[in-house]
Amino acid sequence: MPVTRRDFIRGGVAAFTVSFTAPAFLSDIARAQGARSRSLVVVYLGGGNDALNTVVPYQDTFYYNRRPTIAVPAGQVLQIGSDSSGKALGLHPRLTGLQSIFNQGRLAIVQRTGYQNSSRSHFQGLDIWGTANPSLPTSTGWLGRYLETVPKDALSGWSTTREVPRALLSRDVSVPGIPDARGYVFASPNNAAEGLNERAAATRIASHVSVDLPHLAFVNGTAMGAFETLDRVASVAAYPGTVAYPNNGFAVALRTVAGSIVHGTGTRVYWVQTGGYDTHASQGIQGGGAYAALMGTFGDGLAAFYNDLQNQGLLSDTLVLQFSEFGRRISENGSAGTDHGAAAIMMAMGGAVRGGIYGTAPSLNPDFSNPTLENSGGDVRYETDFRSVYARVLDNWLGASSTAILGGDFRTAAPPIV
Amino acid sequence: MARSELGVEHLLRRAGFGASQDDLKAFEGASTSGVLQSLLEYERQPDDVDSKIGDPAYASINRGGGFSPNLNIDHARQRWLFRMVHSKRPLQEKMALFWHNHFATAYSKIAGIVGGPQATRMMALKLDELPGPQGQIELFRSMALGSFRDLLIEVAKDPAMLVWLDGRLNTRQRPQENFGREIMELFTFGIGHYNELDVYAAARVFTGWNLRQVNRGNDANSYYEFAFNPNQHDTSAKTFTFPIYRGGGTTIPARAAADGMQDGIDFITALATHPDTARRLARKLWDFFVSEVVAPDETTLNDAASAYLLTGTRIESLVHFMLRSRQFQNPANWHTRYSWPVEFVVRAVKEVGWTGFNIDTLRAPLTTMGQTLFEPPDVNGWELGSGWFTTGGMLARMNFAAMLAGNQRLNLVRDLAGSGSSAQSVLDFFLDRLTPAPFDQSARSELLTYLETGGAWTGSDAQLRTKAAGLARLIVGSGQYQIV
């Protein structure tokens, strides 16, 4: 049955409110007992990443024929060797930090990830990646379903966006949206003591749940989620990082995540995103321009995060998983841009990652019989089902059961990235 | 005044942004149907709200370096918020906000291409204040309740849209799919009614619908306007998987380049008059006006869609249908919408007060709550309904309530005069003034407990000043206030 956000509120309110009455500081107890927790940081490139300019098949002549303006020149790519089919690959020149992590064996690139009949809609596409259910992308999120299997805690998930994405939607776990811990405070028009009175009163009022008013219960539930997370998030707010992070929203979000990991808040899943990837026009000539700026934001932010966690000795507890809702068309359009396409790449980064190149690059020959393409040679055809990457992460990193969470067995074809 | 007309308050929250004390005086004694009539026929109300900017009886604006709402996007934001607070035509502003979400266009991409002042013109230029076509938001205001087909045609020619979805670059040799896809997926009948071949064909329909710059190099008088470029129009026939013409024909015929704009007119007419477009718009307006908790039944949806189709795609017919429906009048459906951040802050200002309040202080909290005007997150608009309510977003609302309550403390204490004798009378005053959804008995007793926390109620000046602000923040920051 399709589930909308509205249905959650109608059907799931009883369970939803229970999560807020569970002990709030389970993770503190676990930490006091010396437990270390693994975390997953999902990085979403919003808008549909032009993967062929992220990981460039720089010896494919069709790449240059079909992208006369926007192709990254072979001389500029950061070489990372060849895939198992012998196709030479190079990273976009702005990804120097990621090349270094690749060379350390801690960056995995999975080529041609996607699914059958890839959606070219941003919103349906993101819902499919979020639910891990291409035939019914209106259910709960794959990460939300994972969080249902771990001990209840108000900070078990953490979205650094203001809207909590569908991937983190669950029937009984509410994930907070905290873009920057520094703004996550409870203000008062009065002095500090009176402010505490107000907070106490607001908490008690929000804790009254009207079962016959599920939408009010939902709003009050988010207020309770705020009150239960305020103090722990405050401990993260001042985290400066051991390295200088770039000055943009993506990097601030990653520094916030690093602060949370360093302070041991016990969060298991973080969601970070950066947008601007819907590059229909003027994406940049010969490796420069707008797409290069996107790559700079992405690569520099992730490199700072990686180095910070390495300095903190926490790299082996952290896995970063990158995706986008689709790749883009192979041929550039008349506006020095690319329209919506199909399969793209995923990346994984972290201390436990088995680095390297997984899967094979497409041949970009537009011949209709080319099996690595679809849509009459217009788009890249998927080779690795994205759910098999999820399965590997769920089973081998989070210690969960991928078959239960994904509703099917995707383990056999899973690339062994971790 | 006592608020006995709960139906009027409901109407003003939904069809407008709530009621100020002045609004209530103006509507005193009026029937619900009389108020509805006056809201719907807003053309009869004066369109003079902009002339009140700078008048000390109204909220103030931040003029840093002069007020240039046609050239500076932050000033444009202030002007729009000022209109929402003070307009005598609240439904017009409400519909402009609806269309801003429906045709979600973000300033920052446009500014990155044509620069900030030109991008502000494209979003918000008020006709005749500077040379050039009216900005997108003015387009929405002027056509808010008119023909949806006509609105779609104007949107397809709107300079902001031509930059936002790259139509300015759509040429015969290499068609641009962005607008052609989104007009089907998001602006009209929605996903499931077209395939990739339709996307290709739609892109070709709009080839040559480009932009030109007038008076280039003359900053004060330079502007962009729509231009059909016949040389860049693909003149060949375009075939779709759905009917374009009344007889069921699915092919837009090959035409001479000079007549090529007719392709787009035919295509838009087909989309606007498609029954699934009618149903989709009806559903969106149901959610916007009637309820986000209860779905409309099939009959209601079909009746609304029929009204739209029978009136030649007039939006007015759908809005009338919703606001006059028995479901709208039914008290069970009151307080069943999740207020958008903009609705929340504007209503709070109208109800709490604006003496000495600067409209510009709304901007930063709105961003933290997740709604920056002229900056929707993507072409799909904002995540509505319960999607607004994350912990961070809720904290931002509670903190805005605290800021506004502190700012209006003296105003509130003054208005409270005569009602401050007991904690109960103070609570009654605030619940009457702020119109939250009903608090149940236990929540009311928590509010009373708060008033007497730190000392029994004496009504001293110090106690009133502290607790008036504290209580106002608790009510405006409560869950009951967020649902409208």
Q: Which residue has the tokens 């026929």?
A: B41
Q: Which long-range CB contacts under 8 A does B78-82 form with residues at least 24 apart?
A: B78/B359, B78/B360, B78/B363, B79/B50, B79/B53, B79/B124, B80/B124, B80/B137, B80/B373, B81/B342, B81/B345, B81/B346, B81/B359, B81/B362, B81/B363, B81/B373, B82/B49, B82/B50, B82/B52, B82/B53, B82/B58, B82/B359
Contact B176/A339, CB-based, under 8 Å?
yes
CA-based diameter of chain B, in Å? 84
What does the pLDDT read at residue A3?
A: 44
Q: Which residue has the tokens 């929250």?
A: B13
Q: What angle do CA A274, B370, A271 make, to 5 degrees?
A: 40
Architecture of domain A22-184+240-406: 3-Layer(aba) Sandwich (3.40)
Look over chain A and give the mean of its residue pLDDT values, rounded to a whole number.
90
Q: What's the pLDDT tens digit per position in A108-145?
A: 999 999 999 999 988 889 999 999 999 888 889 999 99
Contact A201/B380, CB-based, under 8 Å?
no
Q: Which of residues A182 and A116 earns the better pLDDT score? A: A116
Q: The tokens of A314 are what?
A: 């926490």
Q: Write the CA distances from B410 to A137, A191, B420, B466, integer angstroms.
A: 52, 16, 14, 10
- Nearest CA-CA partner of A203 in A14, A10, A21: A21
Contact A280/B477, CB-based, under 8 Å?
no
Q: Which of B378, B474, B483 sits opposite A198 (nearest CB)?
A: B474
- Say if B356 is an interface residue toward chain A (CB within 8 Å): no
ipTM value for the complex: 0.94
Q: The tokens of B79 are what?
A: 């002007």
Per the CB < 8 A criterion, the answer to whether A56 and A99 are in contact is no
How long is chain B? 484
Query: Taking 70 as the threshold, does the pLDDT of residue B391 lie above it?
Result: yes
What does the pLDDT average to over A410-418?
A: 95
- Say if B43 is an interface residue toward chain A (CB within 8 Å): no
> At a CB cut-off of 8 Å and minimum separation 6, what does A364 contact?
A52, A57, A60, A62, A63, A66, A330, A373
- Say if B200 is an interface residue toward chain A (CB within 8 Å): no
Instruction: Give percent of chain A with pLDDT exceeding 90.
Output: 78
- Say if B393 is an interface residue toward chain A (CB within 8 Å): yes
Q: What's the pLDDT tens digit per position in A343-357?
A: 999 999 999 999 999
> At a CB cut-off of 8 Å and minimum separation 6, what does A62 contact?
A330, A363, A364, A365, A366
Of all helices (H) and strands (E), which one includes residue B11? Answer: helix B6-15
Rg (CA), chain B: 24
d(CA B184, CA B298): 23
Q: Tell me, rounded to whole angstroms, the distance of Cα B304 from its chain centroid.
A: 21
Q: What's the pLDDT tens digit per position in A55-93?
A: 999 999 999 999 999 999 999 999 999 999 999 999 999
Burial B79-114 (b: 16+ CB within 10 A, else e): bbbbbbbbbbbbbbbbbbbbbbbbbbbbbebbbeeb
Phi, psi of A81 (to 5 degrees): 90, -155
**B-chain residue closest to A208, CA distance:** B443
Contact A219/B390, CB-based, under 8 Å?
no
Model-level pTM?
0.86
Q: Which of A176, A187, A278 sits opposite B390 (nearest CB)?
A: A176
Lowest mean pLDDT among A282-286, A350-354, B232-236: A282-286
From chain B residues 216-235, the ones with a CB under 8 A of any chain A CB are none
Q: Which of residues A4 and A371 earns the better pLDDT score? A: A371
What does the pLDDT read at residue A364?
A: 98
Q: What's the pLDDT tens digit per position in B17-39?
A: 999 999 999 998 899 999 999 99
Q: What's the pLDDT tens digit per position in B179-209?
A: 999 999 999 999 999 999 999 999 999 999 9
What does the pLDDT average to over B421-440?
A: 96
Look over chain B and give the mean of its residue pLDDT values, rounded to a whole number.
95
What distance in Å separates residue B176's CA from the closest CA in chain A?
7
- Say if B361 is an interface residue toward chain A (CB within 8 Å): no
